[in-house]
C-alpha cells in the first residue's frame, strides 16, 4: 500500500449487521479535494444524503485529518459525520481527546460504521484489526462508567443512556470528557446498538519535512502566546471558555429567559473568574494542543464550557452556579448536548410559564435522557416540542438546531452566520464574535451588516479548512491558516498556501449547501426565528439593542449568496465537482 505523506492510506468499513470489517484504500483525489475530517464527509456521505438518519445503512463516520498524529500544534481533533436526526442536515461534530490520534495509530484515516447490531456491541480496533465484543453489560451505563470500563484498551468513543434512547440531541463522548456534541449523532450511534469504540495502535504517518514542521510549530506557538484571547490574564488558557461570560453580558448579548432578554443581572455568579474558584488548578487540552482550554472541577469532572454555563444559567434565568455545574455534569454522564438541552428546557419554561430552579432543571435533564413523562416529548428538541404545543415562535433554532449563547441582536455578523450555517444555527461555522466582540483580528461594527456577507463567507471557508485539517478553531484566534498551510506543506511535501486551503474550504461549504438542497433546504431555512426581527434586546449601560431589520437581513443574505456563488434561493450555481 502506497501511503500519502500525512495519511495512513486507508479507511476501515465496519458492518455491524454482519460484524465484519474491511479496509479500503484512500484515493489521492479525495485527499486533494477535501483534505480530511469534515471534508471527507462530502464524498463519503453524498450517496446517503436522502437516507433516514435512523436507517441501519446510514454511515457514522469518524474522520481524521492530515495533521493528526504529526506533532503539529493544536491538531489533535477529529470529526464525526452523518446526517442529523435533529435537523435533517448533513452534520459534522468536531471532537477532542486522543481518538483521532489513535485511529491513525491503528492505521486508518477514517472509520465508517454501517449496519445495526442485533444486540449491544463494543468494537475494539488495534493495529489494523477490529473485533466485536458484546456490550450488554455496559448498556444503560453512563458515559463515564463506560469509558472507565474500556479505557485500558485505548482511546474511547461511547454513548450514554440518551444515545441508547435516541434522544435527538444525544452526543458521543470521547475519552470520558470530550464531546462530539451537536446534532444528535449519539442517537445515530445508539440506533446501531453500538455502545462504544476503542482504538489503539503505534503507527505514524510519514512526514515529508520535519524541519519545516518544527519551524511552523514555533511560529504557531509564538502567535498563541501573543494572543490576549488565548494566553492573556483573562484568556481562554487561564479561565477556559467561561472567560467570555463577562464580556458577552456587558455587550448586552447574553441570551436570557429563552432569548426574550439579552442581559442577565446575575451573570457574574457563573463568570470565568467565579467558576475558577471551584476548579482544580491548571488545565489540559486535546492531544498536541498547548492552549489547554479544558478545566476540571474539584470533584474531578470536566468544568462546564461557556455555552453550558450560559444556557443552564441566563437562558433559564438561573443564577445557581452549583446547579449549573450539576446540570452540565448530568448532560455529560447521560450523553446529551448542553446547548440543545438547555435551550429545549428554556422553551418548555416559556410555553408553560414555569419558573424553574436548579433542582427542576436537573430533574428534567434526567427525564429527557430516559424519555420519562414529558421528557419523552422534549427529547425531540425545541422545534418539534414547540410546534406540538402550538407555539413554534418559542423555539430559538435555525434549521432545527438550537442557537448558541450569543444573541444575534447584539452582533449582526453572528445573526448572518447563524442563518447561513449549513448544519443549523451554529456559532462555529464563521464565529464573527472574534471581530465583532473580541476585536480580533480586525474590529467591525457589530450593529451593522456592512461588509458582513463577505466576512462570513471567508470565515466559513477558513473554518471548513480548519475542520478538515483537523485543527482547533480556537487556534485561529492566535495563528492563522498561513501557519497551518506551512505545517501541512511540511507534512505532505507539497507546497500549500493559505489561499489553497481557502479554496478547499469553499469547495466543502458549497458541497454541503448543495447536498442539503437535495433534501429541500433553501433560502427559507436561512432565517432567524421571528423574535429577533420583532423584539428588542435589553438595552442599558449606554448600549441600545434594537430588533434586527428583516429587510437589512434580507439584503445581507442576498450579498452572501452572491459571494458564495449561489442563486437568489441559496442554491449553488456551479455544481461541477460536487455532483460527481
Amino acid 301: pLDDT: 83
> What value does the mean pLDDT take over residues 396-410?
98
Amino acid 433: pLDDT: 86
**Closest listed residue to residue 135, CA positions, set 113, 157, 119:** 119
Alpha-carbon distance of 479 to 196, in angstroms, equals 35
Q: What is the pLDDT of residues 553-573, one digit of tens each?
A: 999 999 999 999 999 999 999
Q: 129-143, 272-286, 443-457, 529-543: which has the minimum mean pLDDT? A: 272-286
Amino acid 264: pLDDT: 98
**Closest listed residue to residue 464, CA positions, set 432, 511, 419, 425:** 511
With cut-offs at 50, 70 and 90, classify the pLDDT of residue 300.
Answer: confident
Q: 125-139, 265-279, 549-563: which has the minimum mean pLDDT? A: 265-279
Q: What is the pLDDT of residues 332-347, one digit of tens each?
A: 999 999 999 999 999 9
Amino acid 578: pLDDT: 61
498-517 and 481-492 helices cross at what angle (nearest 10)? 100
Q: What angle do CA 378, 421, 511 make, to 5 degrees?
A: 120
Q: What is the pLDDT of residues 58-83, one digit of tens each?
A: 999 999 999 999 999 999 999 999 99
Q: What is the pLDDT of residues 514-530, one digit of tens each?
A: 999 999 999 999 999 99
Please give the full DSSP string across 284-347, using - where no structure is assigned. Answer: B-STT-SS--B-BBTTSSBPPPHHHHHHHTGGGT---HHHHHHHHHHHHHHTB-HHHHHHHHHH
> What value does the mean pLDDT take over residues 214-240?
93
Alpha-carbon distance of 422 to 485, in angstroms, equals 25
With cut-offs at 50, 70 and 90, classify the pLDDT of residue 577.
Answer: low
The answer on pLDDT for 2 being more than 80 is no
> What value does the mean pLDDT take over residues 281-296?
82
β-sheet with 90-95: strand ranges across: 20-25, 10-15, 110-114, 60-63, 78-83, 90-95
**Average pLDDT over all residues of the chain:** 95
Q: Are 462 and 505 in contact (CB under 8 A)?
A: yes
> What value does the mean pLDDT take over residues 15-20?
98
Looking at domain 10-200, its CATH class is alpha beta
Q: What is the pLDDT of residues 89-122, one digit of tens each?
A: 999 999 999 999 999 999 999 999 999 999 999 9
User: What number of other Cβ atoms are within 10 A of residue 250's Cβ?
Assistant: 15
> What value does the mean pLDDT take over residues 385-403?
98
Amino acid 574: pLDDT: 82
Alpha-carbon distance of 310 to 404, in angstroms, equals 9
**Domain-wise residue ranges, the chain:** 10-200
Amino acid 28: pLDDT: 92
Amino acid 287: pLDDT: 82
Residue-wise burial string across 205-240, b where 16 or more C-beta atoms lie within 10 A, e elsewhere: bebeeeebbeebbebbbebbeebebbbeeebbbbbb
127 versus 346: the higher-pLDDT residue is 346
> What value does the mean pLDDT take over residues 51-57?
97
Amino acid 109: pLDDT: 98
Q: Return the C-alpha cell found at 359.
A: 433542582
Q: Are 115 and 18 in contact (CB under 8 A)?
A: yes
177 versus 299: the higher-pLDDT residue is 177
> What value does the mean pLDDT take over residues 303-318?
96
CB proximity list for 365: less than 8 A, separation 6 or greater: 327, 330, 331, 334, 336, 341, 345
Amino acid 576: pLDDT: 58
Amino acid at each position: 500500500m502506497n501511503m500519502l505523506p500525512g495519511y495512513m492510506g486507508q479507511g476501515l468499513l465496519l458492518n455491524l449487521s454482519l460484524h465484519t470489517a474491511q479496509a479500503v484504500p484512500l484515493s489521492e483525489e479525495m485527499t486533494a479535494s477535501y483534505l480530511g475530517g469534515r471534508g471527507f464527509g462530502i464524498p463519503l456521505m453524498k450517496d446517503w444524503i436522502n437516507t433516514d438518519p435512523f436507517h441501519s445503512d446510514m454511515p457514522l463516520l469518524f474522520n481524521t485529518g492530515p495533521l493528526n498524529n504529526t506533532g503539529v500544534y493544536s491538531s489533535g481533533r477529529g470529526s464525526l459525520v452523518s446526517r442529523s436526526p435533529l435537523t435533517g442536515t448533513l452534520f459534522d461534530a468536531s471532537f477532542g481527546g486522543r481518538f483521532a490520534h489513535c485511529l491513525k495509530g491503528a492505521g486508518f484515516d477514517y472509520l465508517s460504521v454501517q449496519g445495526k447490531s442485533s444486540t449491544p456491541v463494543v468494537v475494539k480496533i488495534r493495529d489494523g484489526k477490529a473485533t466485536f465484543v458484546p456490550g450488554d453489560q455496559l448498556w444503560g451505563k453512563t458515559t463515564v462508567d463506560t469509558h472507565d470500563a474500556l479505557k485500558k484498551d485505548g482511546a474511547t468513543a461511547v454513548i450514554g443512556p440518551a444515545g441508547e434512547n435516541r434522544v435527538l440531541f444525544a452526543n458521543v463522548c470521547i475519552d470520558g470528557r470530550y464531546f462530539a456534541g451537536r446534532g444528535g449523532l449519539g442517537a445515530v450511534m445508539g440506533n446501531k446498538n453500538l455502545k462504544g469504540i476503542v482504538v489503539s495502535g503505534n503507527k505514524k504517518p510519514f512526514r515529508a519535512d520535519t524541519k519545516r514542521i518544527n519551524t511552523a510549530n514555533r511560529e504557531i506557538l509564538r502567535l498563541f502566546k501573543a494572543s490576549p484571547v488565548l494566553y492573556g490574564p483573562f484568556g481562554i488558557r487561564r479561565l477556559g471558555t467561561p472567560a467570555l461570560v463577562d464580556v458577552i453580558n456587558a455587550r448586552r448579548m447574553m441570551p436570557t429567559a429563552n432569548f426574550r432578554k439579552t442581559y442577565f443581572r446575575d451573570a457574574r455568579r457563573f463568570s470565568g473568574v467565579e467558576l475558577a474558584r471551584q476548579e482544580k488548578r491548571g488545565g489540559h487540552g486535546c492531544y498536541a494542543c498547548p492552549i489547554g482550554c479544558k478545566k476540571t472541577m474539584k470533584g474531578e469532572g470536566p468544568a462546564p464550557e461557556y455555552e453550558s454555563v450560559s444556557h443552564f444559567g441566563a437562558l433559564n434565568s438561573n443564577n445557581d452556579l452549583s446547579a449549573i455545574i450539576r446540570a452540565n455534569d448530568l448532560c455529560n454522564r447521560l450523553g446529551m448536548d448542553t446547548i440543545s438541552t438547555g435551550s429545549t428546557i428554556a422553551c418548555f419554561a416559556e410555553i408553560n410559564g414555569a419558573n424553574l430552579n436548579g433542582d427542576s432543571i436537573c430533574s428534567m435533564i434526567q427525564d429527557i435522557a430516559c424519555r420519562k413523562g414529558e421528557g419523552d416529548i422534549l427529547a425531540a428538541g425545541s422545534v418539534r416540542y414547540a410546534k406540538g404545543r402550538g407555539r413554534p415562535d418559542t423555539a430559538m433554532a435555525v434549521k432545527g438546531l438550537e442557537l448558541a449563547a450569543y444573541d444575534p441582536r447584539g452582533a449582526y455578523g453572528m445573526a448572518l452566520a447563524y442563518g447561513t450555517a449549513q448544519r443549523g444555527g451554529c456559532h462555529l461555522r464563521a464565529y464573527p464574535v472574534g471581530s465583532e466582540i473580541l476585536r480580533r483580528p480586525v474590529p467591525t461594527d457589530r450593529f451593522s451588516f456592512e461588509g458582513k456577507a463577505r466576512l462570513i463567507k471567508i470565515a466559513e471557508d477558513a473554518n471548513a479548512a480548519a475542520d478538515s485539517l483537523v485543527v482547533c478553531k480556537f487556534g485561529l484566534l492566535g495563528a492563522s491558516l498561513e501557519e497551518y498551510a506551512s505545517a501541512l506543506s511540511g507534512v505532505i511535501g507539497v507546497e500549500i498556501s493559505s489561499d489553497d486551503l481557502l479554496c478547499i474550504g469553499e469547495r466543502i461549504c458549497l458541497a454541503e449547501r448543495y447536498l442539503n438542497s437535495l433534501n429541500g433546504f433553501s433560502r427559507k431555512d436561512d432565517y432567524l426565528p421571528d423574535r429577533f426581527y420583532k423584539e428588542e434586546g435589553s438595552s442599558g449601560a449606554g448600549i441600545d439593542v434594537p430588533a434586527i431589520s428583516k429587510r437589512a437581513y434580507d439584503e445581507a443574505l442576498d450579498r452572501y449568496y452572491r459571494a458564495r456563488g449561489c442563486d437568489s434561493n441559496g442554491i449553488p450555481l456551479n455544481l461541477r465537482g460536487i455532483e460527481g
